[in-house]
Amino acid sequence: MAIPTFVDQVTLHLAAGRGGNGVASVKREKFKPLGGPDGGNGGQGGSIILQVDTSVTTLVDYHHSPKRRADNGGQGAGDHKNGGNGKDLVLAVPDGTLVKDADGNELADLVGHGTTMVIAQGGRGGLGNAALASSKRKAPGFALLGEPGDELVVRLELKVVADIGLVGFPSAGKSSLIAAISRARPKIADYPFTTLIPNLGVVTAGETTFVVADVPGLIEGAAEGRGLGHDFLRHIERCAALVHVIDTASIEPGRNPLDDLEVIEGELARYGGLEDRPRLVALNKVDVPDGQDIADMVVEELRGRGLRVFEVSAASGAGLRELTFAMAEIVVASREVAPDAEPERIVLRPKAVDASDDFEVVGTDDGWRVRGTKPERWVRQTDFSNEEAVGFLADRLSRLGVEIKLARMGAQEGDAVIIGPENNSVVFDFKPSIEAGAEMLGRRGEDERLRENRPARERRRDIAEAMETKSEEEARADVARRLDEERKKKGPNRSSGSSGVGPMSYEIGTKDDPDWDGSDD
């Protein structure tokens, strides 16, 4: 199987990097068993960027490797350490690359060296519990997950950026003409369809430098798919002018310059979009005796149609100077009216909606489906193995107004609530918290470890007060034992449900005792 060297259409499967997860961590130091949340945030996932590079002339690299993936973001760590951002994946594309989605809709036209397009955005990193802490949720025991990066299928189509396009029948001498007026060295032979890919040549005429491209294989019916021309007609869409290269020495029966011109013009008209391009006509191969005679027969009729006609020979060089300067004249005029192409940065982003009602609720046979940017993003960020994280999600949905809207639409307790894309949804049982009010013992997602009336805190405070009245022979552990004996004699605290000893399951005065000072009794 032949390996292609020129590819102008490819389909890419792209996956941006996933954002790193945040971390739930509590700072622990000596004498500070709960120093506060210090979990860092996850890093941003790497994005996939298309960048125009004029040194790249084909899409062949993506023909062999159509699946590309960017790096994931790093996970956060304790001590407020954020995860590293994933490395962006930059894909070099030729100048003139058209980007379309899987349905064929045009997304961007990349023209100009250095122009970039963020085609797949990396996922955002999840917040650590330090960023989620607030006055009401002092030490969250959860963190948010990183969001997945964009995954999509795009189609790249190359439209060669050239100033002049050469069109004509096979073996009309287009490749020979490019070789004669530039330093390009295309394959040249005396049989049709020698040229299988568009050839480019850089031409200098006076102080003007421009690019000439030929379209191979144009024959009658090319616009409908016959021959090779239909594969390459797109490459002349960006040209400022078209040059008809007509073979005046063709030995094929029934061929003449006027018919060749009408056939090619008919194909260009059926392809469409090229009617406004200026035309030049190059009657090629006038170095052949019969070629010069035929050129003399048709030159006046062609000029009578308003066309600029040049009698040239790619072999001898006759008429090439006049032809190149005529091309340069059109190119200069085109560049004067065209805006300067400057590198730009294109980013594909969904339409931002920050309104409080950024969601909709739809009743389905499976349950109530909630659609919206915020609810779907919050579900992706939630670690459903952590009850506190689920409670935090419920709080967010409640503040957004999801529960109220469900209730107004007639949702009953126990109904299924579906959030997320069709192929990866999360299903909840509707359990409204609107009526809970003062009966709630605490806010969902609130961490009870930092309550002011913790038994362990009260015990340490009692020991500290008793240390002021201890005898010289008593150590801290002796004071703690004495207080525990006194609590046991008093019996359990019926009002609080405590046994009077405290929540620790260790022997006082051992290494398991967090108040042990390390000394022997």
Q: Tell me: is residue 209 an annotated ligand-binding position.
A: no
CA 319 distance to own-chain centroid: 51
C-alpha 263/C-alpha 165 separation (Å) is 17
283: which DSSP letter?
A: E
37 is an annotated ligand-binding site residue: no
DSSP annotation of 281 reads E
Does 171 carry a binding-site annotation?
Answer: yes
Nearest alpha carbon to residue 75 among 40, 46, 28: 40
Q: What is the 3-state secondary structure (H, E, C) of 448-496?
A: HHHCCCCHHHHHHHHHHHHHHHCCCCCCHHHHHHHHHHHHHHHCCECCC
Q: Is 86 annotated as a binding residue?
A: no
> 483-499 in b/e burial notation, b at 16+ Cβ within 10 A?
bbeebeeeeeeeeeeee
* Pairing status of strand 97-101 against strand 106-110: antiparallel
| Residue 215 marked in a binding site | yes
Return the number of other C-beta atoms located less than 10 Å from residue 399's C-beta: 10
285 annotated as belonging to a binding site for a ligand: yes
**Two tokens at 364?**
């389905």
**End-to-end distance of the chain based on CA atoms, in angstroms?**
87
170 is in an annotated binding site: yes
In this structure, how many other beta carbons lie within 10 angstroms of the beta carbon of residue 80? Answer: 17
CB 12 within 8 A of CB 68: yes
The annotation status of 129 as a binding-site residue, yes or no, is: no
CB 109 within 8 A of CB 158: no
Please answer whether residues 17 and 46 qualify as being in contact, where contact means their C-beta atoms are separated by less than 8 angstroms.
yes
| 95 annotated to a ligand binding site | no
**Is residue 6 marked as binding?**
no
Q: Is 193 annotated as a binding-site member?
A: yes
Strands 241-247 and 164-167 come out as: parallel
Which helix (H) or strand (E) element contains residue 363? strand 360-363
138 is in an annotated binding site: no
58 is in an annotated binding site: no
Say whether 505 counts as a known binding-site residue.
no
351 is in an annotated binding site: no
The response to whether 512 counts as a known ligand-binding position is no
Query: Is 176 assigned a ligand-binding role in the annotation?
Result: no
What is the Cα–Cα distance from 21 to 37, expressed in whole angstroms? Answer: 16
169 is in an annotated binding site: yes
What SS3 class is residue 38? coil
Sign (positive/negative) of CA torsion 416, 419, 423, 427? Answer: negative
Q: How do beta strands 106-110 and 151-158 pair?
A: unpaired
To the question of whether residue 194 is assigned a binding role by annotation, the answer is: yes
Query: Cβ atoms within 10 A of the Cβ of 18, count?
Result: 25
Identify the CA nearest to 248 among candidates 298, 185, 180: 298
What is the C-alpha to C-alpha distance for residues 165 and 373, in angstroms, rounded to an integer?
A: 47
Distances (CA, A) of 236 to 72, 100, 242, 254: 40, 19, 8, 28
Instruction: Retrieve residue 424's tokens.
Output: 């990866």
**Could you give the CA distance from residue 319 to residue 327 in angstroms, rounded to a whole number?**
13
Q: Is 172 annotated as a binding residue?
A: yes
How far, in Å, CA of 198 to CA of 175, rounded? 9
The verdict on whether residue 32 carries a ligand-binding annotation is: no
The reply to whether 287 sits in an annotated binding site is yes
Going by the annotation, the residues of the binding site are 168-175, 193-197, 214-217, 284-287, 313-315
Going by the annotation, the residues of the binding site for GTP are 168-175, 193-197, 214-217, 284-287, 313-315
Going by the annotation, the residues of the binding site for Mg(2+) are 175, 195
